[in-house]
Amino acid sequence: MERNMLWICALLVAHPIVHGNQETSEISPVSEKLLSFLRMNNDFALRLYKKLAEMPNYHSKNIFFSPFSVSMALSELSLGAGGETKQQLLNGIGYNSSLFSTEEMHQLFHSLLEDIDQRTGADLDAGTALYVSDKYKQIPEFFEKMKEFYHSEGFAVNFSDKETIDKINMYVKEKTHGKIDKAVEDLDADTLMFLLTYIYFKGKWDLPFNPSSTRKEKFYLDSETTIQVKFMHHYEFLKVHYDMDLSAKVLCLDYNDSFSMLLVVPEYGPLIKNLTYLEEEISREHITKWMRAVSKRKADIYVPKLSLKTSYSLKDILKDMGMTDLFTTKADFSGISEDRMMISKAVHQASLDIDEEGTTAAAVTTVRFRPMSYNPLKVLSFNKPFMIFIVDQKNDNILFIGRIMNPAEKQT
């Protein structure tokens, strides 16, 4: 069965507008700097997730994306940005100059990509491609640094040629193993640059589900509406945790090479309200805590099989996160080209498959008393809206994040 895959494309298209030196420093890899960098990425992941969840179009929809792919694309752009544009990009991804320099930030991205390339137990690939107009007055230093830090491939193309679209889509199809075959449908002839980042993940469970145990059961879309979906089942010693603060059950399913999927489902109250509360309260610290707190115990678990695709226009979301100049004539990408340009589109595509073999990716204090015999972890059924994360066990880096509102929904 070849449906255990996760993949992602984040696409940025640059258009001309009718006219920064980059920082350099010696990087000395220090574990504390890597830790600060990973915290930055995970904080960005949850801020971007919450922005998506707040969007009216996605209020009751499944959400799934790779924050790592998006933050990598924005970091890459900062290599060639100047002035206020660069500052907005750095602020947007949460960069703090007191923790590491921008040169060190790019080097840390490079280190993660190098680590990803060395993984053998899971099929994991991440990278970048730049498509540049053959009429482009480019700044060589930008492309040299893209290759140095982000393993970027570069292609000179004619954007007025329809074959260019086919070339881009064929490249994406190859990098995502055929799962995304149409990253772009059209490009304006005056396009100067097309930046594409991707991440592909395919992992098999340490403990596969038995297909003969898969059964159709009710999934509660809300307190009154149910649908029938296929649930996989385990009754085994599994990594579980109960978060008292969030009243949420956490299941950690490991893959066979240091990656894990976290499934988090709220326990009390109206279904949607509970998920909303979880989304509002969750932080990077919760992910770290859960990865340490899960412990093996005998549990009944029920996980829905999934197959979904998502596509997001990030333009309004990035603007709402403070990156406004990118999409206006105020944009400063003077480190990329002598031609003045701005970003016309920022698009993110993702897909998720989960089956029996694996995955293809105001303070307030409350006290609640329970009977001492109560065991919230005896049964974990993800039969109502829940959150999902794909996390690197080595460093808690969030590769993918999302929520499942309707397992039967194929497209968002």
Cα distance between the two ends of the chain: 24
Whole-prediction pTM: 0.85
- Average pLDDT over every residue of 360-365: 32
pLDDT at 362 over 70: no
Of 46 and 172, which is predicted with more confidence? 46
What is the dihedral sign for C-alpha 194, 328, 349, 119? Answer: positive
The mean of the pLDDT values for the chain is 81
* Choice among 50-59, 348-357, 359-368, 378-387 with the minimum mean pLDDT: 359-368
Q: Which residue has the higher pLDDT, 242 or 189?
A: 242
Taking residues 9-38, report their average pLDDT.
56
Q: 7 pLDDT exceeds 90? A: no
Query: What is the pLDDT confidence band of residue 377, given thresholds at 50, 70 and 90?
Result: low
Q: Are strands 226-243 and 215-220 parallel, antiparallel or unpaired?
A: antiparallel
Q: What local confidence, expressed as pLDDT, does residue 32 receive? A: 87
Asked whether residue 106 carries a pLDDT value surpassing 90, the answer given is yes
**SS3 per residue for the chain:** CCCCCEEEEEEEEEEECCCCCCCCCCCCCCHHHHHHHHHHHHHHHHHHHHHHHHCHHHCCCCEEECHHHHHHHHHHHHHHCCHHHHHHHHHHHCCCCCCCCHHHHHHHHHHHHHHHHHCCCCEEEEEEEEEEECCCCECHHHHHHHHHHHCCEEEEECCCCCHHHHHHHHHHHHHCCCCCCCCCCCCCCCCCEEEEEEEEEEEEECCCCCHHHCEEEEEECCCCCEEEEEEEEEEEEEEEEEECCCCEEEEEEEECCCEEEEEEEECCCCHHHHHHHHHHHCCHHHHHHHHHHCEEEEEEEEEECEEEEEEEECHHHHHHCCCCHHHCCCCCCCCCECCCEEEEEEEEEEEEEECCCEECCCCCCCCCCCCCCCCCCCEEECCCCEEEEEEECCCCCEEEEEEECCCCCCEC
Under the banding of pLDDT at 50, 70 and 90, the label for residue 311 is confident
Query: pLDDT class for 3, splitting at 50, 70, 90?
Result: very low
Model confidence band, residue 115 (pLDDT cutoffs 50, 70, 90):
confident
Instruction: Give pLDDT tens digits for 135-187.
Output: 777 788 988 998 999 888 888 888 888 888 898 888 888 888 777 777 788 87
- 39-43, 140-144, 367-371, 403-407: the lowest-pLDDT one: 367-371
Q: Is a pLDDT exceeding 90 seen at residue 282?
A: yes
Most confident of 82-96, 156-170, 196-210: 82-96
Mean predicted confidence (pLDDT) in 338-354: 82
Which pairs count as long-range contacts for 221-229, CB under 8 Å and 24+ apart, including other chains? 221/271, 221/385, 221/405, 221/406, 222/270, 222/271, 222/272, 223/270, 223/271, 227/406, 227/408, 229/304, 229/305, 229/407, 229/408
pLDDT for residue 194 is more than 70: yes
pLDDT of residue 342: 82
**% the chain with pLDDT above 90:** 33
> Which carries the bigger pLDDT value, residue 301 or residue 9?
301
What does the pLDDT look like over 74-83, one tens digit per residue?
999 899 899 9
d(CA 250, CA 236): 15
Banded pLDDT at 42 (limits 50, 70, 90): very high
Helix 140-150 crosses helix 102-118 at what angle (to 10 degrees)? 50
Distance CA 315, CA 342 (A): 12
Q: What span, in angstroms and rounded, lies between the C-alpha atoms of 346 and 349?
A: 10
pLDDT digits (tens, 9 = 90+) for 246-281: 889 999 998 876 789 999 999 866 665 678 889 999
* Residue 333 confidence (pLDDT): 87
Better-scored residue on pLDDT, 110 or 16: 110
**CB contact at 8 A, 239 and 100:** no
pLDDT tens column, 320-340:
999 999 888 888 988 888 878
How far apart are alpha carbons 307 and 408 in whole angstroms?
A: 8
**What structural domains does the chain harbor?**
6-204+308-354 (3.30.497.10), 211-304+364-404 (2.30.39.10)
Per-residue pLDDT at 329 = 85
Q: How do beta strands 259-266 and 248-254 pair?
A: antiparallel
What percent of the chain clears pLDDT 70, i.e. is strictly above it? 85
Task: Output the pLDDT for position 374.
Answer: 37
Please give the pLDDT value at position 300: 87
| Gap between the Cα atoms of 198 and 166, Å rounded | 17
CA distance 402 to 392: 16
Higher pLDDT, 23 or 215: 215
